[in-house]
Amino acid sequence: MTDETSLVLMIVLPFAGSLAVIVLPKNARNAAATLAGAVALIGLVLAAGSYRSILDRGAVRSDIQWLPTLGLDFTLRMDGFAWLFAMLISGIGFLVVIYARYYMSPEDPVPRFFSFLLAFMGSMLGVVISGNLILLVVFWELTSIFSFLLIGYWHRNASARDGARMALTITGLGGLGLLAGFLLIGHLVGSYDLDRVLASGDLIRSHGLYVPILVLVLLGAFTKSAQFPFHFWLPNAMAAPTPVSAYLHSATMVKAGVFLLARLWPVLAGTYEWFWIVGFAGMMSFVLGAYFAIFQRDVKGLLAYSTISHLGLITLLLSLGSPLGAVAAIFHMINHATFKASLFMAAGIIDHETGTRDMQRLGGLFRFMPYTATLAMVASAAMAGVPLLNGFLSKEMFFAEAIATHADSILDTAAPYAAVLGSAFAVAYSVRFIHSVFFGPLPADLPREPHEPPFFMRFPIQLLVLACLLVGIVPGLTIGPFLHTAVTAVLGSATPEYSLAVWHGFTIPLFMSVLALAGGAILYLLLKDYLARCEDGPPYLRRLRGQRVFERVVVAVSWRGARFMESRLGTRRLQPQLRLLVVVAVIAAAWPFYRLGFDPGRLTVQGADVSFAGIWAIGVLCALGAAWQAKFHRLFALILLGGAGLVTCITFVWFSAPDLALTQLLVEVVTTVLILLGLRWLPKRSTDVTPGLATTGARLRRYRDLAMAVTCGTGMTMIAYAVMTRTPPATIADFFLTKAYSEGGGRNVVNVILVDFRGFDTFGEITVLSIVALTVFALLRRFRPAPDNVAPPEQQRLQRAFDEARPYREAGDTVSDYLLIPAVIMQWLFPVIIVFAAYLFMRGHDLPGGGFVAGIALATAFILQYLAAGTRWVEDRLRVLPVNWIGFGLLLAALVGAGSWLFGYPFLTSYSGYVELPLIGSVPAASATLFDLGVFSLVLGATVLMLIALAHQSIRRLRASRIAAQGNEEIA
C-alpha cells in the first residue's frame, strides 16, 4: 500500500465505519464496539506503517483535486508532528473504544455513540493531517460538530444539552474565526497549501494584516483548547459520557488548539503580539485552571480544570517563541494526553462503580479497588509532575523555559513565579483527587457497592499508565526519536539541542519542582478540612462563573437583543413596509437626477386644448375625491374612481389609442361590479369619529404620508413631462407598423402586436388572468364572512319583514317587483351583447377589438343575467363552466402556438392568408385568430369565474344560515 492510499484511508475509514455503525440495531453493542475498535486499530497500524516514509522524506502527501480554482484541494500531508498526533488519536481512540464497550449501559443507543466517536476520530485525524488550511478548517469544524453530538449524547439530561450547546457555540465561533484568519493568510500567501504557508512566515509576520490574522487564528485555537477567556465550556462539557471526556478532553479535541498553535508556530510565533496575547492567555489558563481545579467537588470537574491548566502550560510554552519552548510544548502535549486519558477513565470507573463523582461523598475506595486506585495514583503523580513519570520531564523543561528571558516584560518576569504557583496548585489538586477518593473513611451512603471493574475496562488505563512510566523513566529509548521527528517537522532548521534525560543535576528547575511539590502538598493539608465540606467552586471566585456570564451574554445578544433589533430594524405591519417602499423608490428615482441634473424639457402651453384641460380638471377632481372619500364613503369613492377611469379612457382616445379606450371601459365596468360584490362583506364604517379628535401623532403621520404622496406625484409628473417633451429615439415601432399588414395580416397594429409580434406577452398575460381566477375561486371556496356580515344586508331584512308583515304580500314581492321590468330588458340584452362580443372579436385584427374585449363583453352579458334574476335562476338555465373555459382557452392558445412546430417554425409563428369560401368570397384567415379565440375563451371564463365565485357567497351564506337555523330549531 502506498503512503498516499494509507493517508486517504486513515481519513476515509473512520467515516465509513461511522456510517456502518449507525445503521446497526440499537442493541448491537459488541458489533458496534468491535467495528469501531477495528477501525481505530487499522488507523493506528496505517499511521505506524508510514513512519518510515516520513523519516525518509520528511512528510507523506496525497493530493486529490477538489476545488482547484478556489485553491481548496483534498490535500493530506503527514509529517512527524502530524504523525505523532495521528498515533495519539488512533491509539487512544482504540483504548477508549475498549473502555466504552464496558462503560456504556445496555440501555443506551450504543451504535450511535460509536458512530459519533468514529466520525470524531476521522475529523480529528483530518485536522492533523490536512495539507490545506481550508481543509483543516473543514475537519476542525467537524470536530466541533461531532463533539457537540458526543457531549449531548445523553440529551435527556439538561446539563448535557447545555454543555453541548455551549461547546458548539464557542468552538463554532472559534472555527469561523479560524476560517477568517486562514482566508487572510491565503490572501497574503496566495495559496492555502500548508507547505507554502509554512514557508511564508516572514511575509505574514511583516504584513499589516498580521495582527488580524493572529487574533483570528488564536480565537480558533483558544476556543478549541479551552484557553482563558474561553475556558468555561470545558467543565460544562463534563456532562458527556466519560469515554468522551477521556478521548476529547485529554488527547484530541482540546489538543487541536495547541496543535494548531504549534503547527503555525513557524509562521506566526516570535512577534511581540504573539508573545503577549498567547503568553497572557496561557499563563491565566495555567494558574487559574489549576486554582479552580483544587476546589471542584466533581472528579471530572477537577480533571477538566486541570486540563485547562495543562493546556495553558502548553500555550505558555508556545508563546515564548523559543524553539526549546516549542519542544517542551510538544512533549507536554503527548504526556498530558496519556495521563489525562487514563485519569478520565479512572474517574469513569469510580463513577460507574459507585454511582457518584462527588469527592465529598467518596472515600476509602482503595480497599475495594486497589488495582484501579494504584493506576490512578500513578497517573495523578504524572499530572502533578512527580519524578520518574512523564509529566515531570515536560514540566522540568517548562521551568527551564520559564526562567529564561524571552522578551523584556512583566509577563516574562512573572513567568517563573506563575510556573511554580500553578505547579503547586497542580500538586494540590492531584493529591486531593487521590486522597479524597481512595483514602479516608468509607462513606455509608454510596448509591452502589463498589468493586473492581471488569478487566477490559481497566486495561486501557494500565497501558496508558505504563506509557507514563516508560516515558518517565527511559524517555530517550521510548519517546525520544519520535519526539525528535515531530519537533523537526515543526521547527525545521531551528530545531534546538535538547536533552530528555531524567536527571540534569541540581538545577533551578529541579528546585522549582521540589518547591511546587512541597508547596502543593502543604497547600492540600491546609485546605483538606475546608475541601471536605465546602461549596462547589473556588472561594472568592465562586460567583464569577465564566459560563454564566457567557450564557447571559449569549441570551442577551442572540435572543433578547436580536428580537429587539429585529423589531427596530424591521416591521411586521404593512403600512410601514409600503411607506419604505415608496421612500426607497423615490430616492432611487431621484438619485440619478441629483447626480446628473434634471432637464425638464420645453414648456408648451400653446398646444394645450381647453377641453382636454377641462377633462382632466374633472379627472383630477375624481382622483382626489376618491382618495379623500375611500375611508368613510366607499360607494362614493368607487364612483369617483370610475370617473377617473373614464377620463383616462378619454385620454386614450384623444391620443390615438382606441383599443386602450375600449379595454379600459370594459374593465372598468367589470371592476366596478366586482368591487360592489365585495363591498357586501366589508364592515360598516361610520363617520362618528370627527377628524378634529385625531391625535397629534396621527395627524403628523398623515402629513408625512401626504408629503410622500405629493412627492411621488410631482416626481412622476416631472419624469413623464421630461420624456414626453424629448425627441423620441428611433424605436422598434416602425418595424411593427410596416410589417403589421404585410406580414402580420392585420391593420390594427396594436392587435397584431398582441396576437402575433408579441403574442408571447399575451400568452403570459392570459395565464396571469387564469391563475388569478383560479386563486379567487380557491380562496372563496373557504370563505368565511365576519360575524356581522353573515346575515343578509339590512335592506333585504327590512324588505322581507315589510313583506311578511302585510297580509296581501308574499315575502320577496319587493325584490320581484323591483326587478320585474328591468329584468326583461336585461334578458333581451343577452343575445345583443353576444352578437356585439362576436363583432368585437371578429374585427379585432383589423380594427379596435379582439379576443380580450370580446371576452369581457360577453362576461358582462352573463353578469347582467345574474344581476337581473339571481344566481339560481341563471344556473338553472345556463351551463356556466368557467373553469373549463379557462382550461380550453389556455390549451387552445398553447396548441395554436405549438402548431407552428409542425411546419418547422418556432412557437407562436403565425399563419395568415386568405381563404376562398363559397358565397362569401375571400376571407382573411390567420392562425392568430385562433389564438385570439383562446384568449377570448379564457378571458370569458376567468371574468365569469371571479364574479360568480364572489356572487355565490351570498347564497352560500343564506344556505348556511338556514341550516344553522334548522339546527337550532331541532335542538329546541
Q: Does 812 bind Na ion (CB under 5 A)?
A: no
* Subset of residues 334 to 373 that bind Na ion, contact rule: CB under 5 A: none
Least Å distance, CB 825 to Na ion, is: 15
To the nearest 10 degrees (0 to 180), the angle between helices 253-263 and 323-354 is: 180
End-to-end CA distance of the chain: 91
Per-residue b or e along 254-283, where b marks 16 or more CB atoms closer than 10 Å to that residue's CB: bbbbbbbbbbbbbbbbbbeebbebbbbbbb
Tell me which of Na ion, another protein, none is bound by residue 581, counting a contact when its beta carbon lies within the kind-specific cut-off of 5 to 8 angstroms.
another protein
Q: Does 779 bind another protein (CB under 8 A)?
A: yes
* 959, three cell numbers: 344556505
Least Å distance, CB 690 to another protein, is: 17
Q: Please return the burial class of 829, using the count of CB atoms within 10 Å of its CB with bins 0-12, 13-18 and 19+.
A: middle
* Span near another protein by CB under 8 A; candidates 224-232, 450-458, 478-486, 846-854: 846-854
Q: Does 70 bind another protein (CB under 8 A)?
A: yes
How far is residue 189's CA from residue 7's CA, in Å, rounded to a whole number? 26
Least Å distance, CB 390 to another protein, is: 35
Q: Does 802 bind Na ion (CB under 5 A)?
A: no
- Secondary element (H or E) of residue 41: helix 29-49
Tell me which of another protein, Na ion, none is bound by residue 800, counting a contact when its beta carbon lies within the kind-specific cut-off of 5 to 8 angstroms.
none
Among 48, 466, 612, 925, contact with another protein (rule: CB under 8 A): 612
Q: Does 909 bind another protein (CB under 8 A)?
A: yes
How many residues bind to Na ion according to rule CB under 5 A? 2
Task: Specify the residue, 201 or 887, whose C-beta has the smaller distance to another protein.
Answer: 887
Contact of 677 with 947, CB cutoff 8 Å: yes
Among 52, 451, 631, 699, contact with another protein (rule: CB under 8 A): 631
* 964, three cell numbers: 344553522
* Subset of residues 160 to 219 that bind another protein, contact rule: CB under 8 A: 161, 164-165, 168-169, 172-173, 175-177, 179-180, 183-184, 186-192, 203, 207
Q: Does 782 bind another protein (CB under 8 A)?
A: yes
Binding mask 738-777 for another protein (x = CB under 8 A): x-xx-xxx-xxxx--xx-xxxxxxx-xxxxxxxxxxxxxx
* 933, three cell numbers: 379565440
How far is residue 294's CA from residue 426's CA, in Å, rounded to a whole number? 8
* Span near Na ion by CB under 5 A; candidates 105-113, 152-160, 272-280, 799-807: 799-807
Q: Does 716 bind another protein (CB under 8 A)?
A: yes
- Looking only at the bridges linking them, the beta strands covering 59-67 and 912-917 are unpaired
Task: Specify the residue, 141 or 803, whose C-beta has the smaller distance to Na ion.
Answer: 803
Among 683, 688, 968, 970, contact with another protein (rule: CB under 8 A): 683
Closest Cα partner for 706 from 803, 522, 579? Answer: 579
Q: Does 816 bind Na ion (CB under 5 A)?
A: no
DSSP 8-state class, residue 77: E
Among 482, 492, 671, 875, contact with another protein (rule: CB under 8 A): 671
Amino acid making up residue 122: G
Task: Specify the residue, 44 or 649, whose C-beta has the smaller distance to another protein.
Answer: 649
Contact of 745 with 752, CB cutoff 8 Å: yes
Q: Does 809 bind Na ion (CB under 5 A)?
A: yes
Task: Specify the residue, 470 or 615, whose C-beta has the smaller distance to another protein.
Answer: 615
* 814, three cell numbers: 319587493
Q: What separation in angstroms does the CA of 283 have from each of 221, 280, 288, 320, 698? A: 15, 5, 8, 11, 62
Q: Does 533 bind another protein (CB under 8 A)?
A: no
Least Å distance, CB 570 to Na ion, is: 60
* Subset of residues 322 to 341 that bind another protein, contact rule: CB under 8 A: none
Task: Specify the residue, 566 or 804, whose C-beta has the smaller distance to Na ion.
Answer: 804
How far is residue 910's CA from residue 913's CA, in Å, rounded to a whole number? 10
* Span near another protein by CB under 8 A; candidates 293-301, 444-452, 454-462, 913-921: 913-921
Q: Does 139 bind another protein (CB under 8 A)?
A: yes
Tell me which of another protein, Na ion, none is bound by residue 454, counting a contact when its beta carbon lies within the kind-specific cut-off of 5 to 8 angstroms.
none
In degrees and rounded to multiples of 5, residue 450 shows phi and psi of -75, 150
How far is residue 73's CA from residue 467's CA, in Å, rounded to a whole number? 37
Tell me which of another protein, Na ion, none is bound by residue 703, counting a contact when its beta carbon lies within the kind-specific cut-off of 5 to 8 angstroms.
none
Listed in sequence order, the residues at least 6 apart from 22 whose beta carbon sits closer than 8 Å to its beta carbon are: 111, 112, 115
* Span near Na ion by CB under 5 A; candidates 730-738, 740-748, 807-815, 916-924: 807-815
Number of Cβ within a 10 Å radius of residue 888: 16
CA angle 684, 689, 692 (to 5 degrees): 150
Indicate the residue whose CB is closest to Na ion: 809
Q: Does 273 bind another protein (CB under 8 A)?
A: no
Least Å distance, CB 493 to another protein, is: 24
**Dihedral angle, C-alpha 663, 666, 667, 672, nearest 10 °:** 160
- Secondary element (H or E) of residue 249: none
Least Å distance, CB 830 to Na ion, is: 25
* Subset of residues 664 to 693 that bind Na ion, contact rule: CB under 5 A: none
- 3-state SS, residue 195: helix
Task: Specify the residue, 206 or 413, whose C-beta has the smaller distance to another protein.
Answer: 206
Contact of 133 with 194, CB cutoff 8 Å: yes
Task: Specify the residue, 111 or 422, whose C-beta has the smaller distance to another protein.
Answer: 111
* Span near another protein by CB under 8 A; candidates 85-93, 221-229, 495-503, 812-820: 812-820
How far is residue 473's CA from residue 801's CA, in Å, rounded to a whole number? 111
Tell me which of another protein, Na ion, none is bound by residue 451, counting a contact when its beta carbon lies within the kind-specific cut-off of 5 to 8 angstroms.
none
* 191, three cell numbers: 495559496
Q: Does 924 bind another protein (CB under 8 A)?
A: no
Q: Does 884 bind another protein (CB under 8 A)?
A: yes
Contact of 851 with 934, CB cutoff 8 Å: yes
How far is residue 776's CA from residue 773's CA, in Å, rounded to a whole number? 5
Closest Cα partner for 851 from 888, 878, 819? Answer: 888
Among 227, 296, 307, 664, contact with another protein (rule: CB under 8 A): 664
Tell me which of another protein, Na ion, none is bound by residue 833, counting a contact when its beta carbon lies within the kind-specific cut-off of 5 to 8 angstroms.
another protein
Task: Specify the residue, 559 or 802, whose C-beta has the smaller distance to Na ion.
Answer: 802
Q: Does 967 bind another protein (CB under 8 A)?
A: no
Contact of 418 with 287, CB cutoff 8 Å: yes
Tell me which of another protein, Na ion, none is bound by residue 570, counting a contact when its beta carbon lies within the kind-specific cut-off of 5 to 8 angstroms.
another protein
Tell me which of Na ion, another protein, none is bound by residue 494, counting a contact when its beta carbon lies within the kind-specific cut-off of 5 to 8 angstroms.
none
Tell me which of another protein, Na ion, none is bound by residue 683, counting a contact when its beta carbon lies within the kind-specific cut-off of 5 to 8 angstroms.
another protein
Among 735, 804, 914, 967, contact with another protein (rule: CB under 8 A): 735
Task: Specify the residue, 599 or 804, whose C-beta has the smaller distance to Na ion.
Answer: 804
Among 729, 968, 969, 971, contact with another protein (rule: CB under 8 A): 729
* 932, three cell numbers: 385570439
* Subset of residues 294 to 323 that bind another protein, contact rule: CB under 8 A: none
Tell me which of another protein, Na ion, none is bound by residue 34, counting a contact when its beta carbon lies within the kind-specific cut-off of 5 to 8 angstroms.
none
**Residue corresponding to grid cell 374585449:** 853
Among 955, 962, 966, 967, contact with another protein (rule: CB under 8 A): 955
Least Å distance, CB 210 to another protein, is: 12
How far is residue 151's CA from residue 148's CA, in Å, rounded to a whole number? 5
Three-state SS for 754-805 is HHHHCHHHHHHHHHHHHHHHHHHHHHHHCCCCCHHHHCCCHHHHHHHHHHHH
* 598, three cell numbers: 434634471
Contact of 834 with 643, CB cutoff 8 Å: no
> Which residues in this chain contact Na ion in the complex, by CB under 5 A?
804, 809
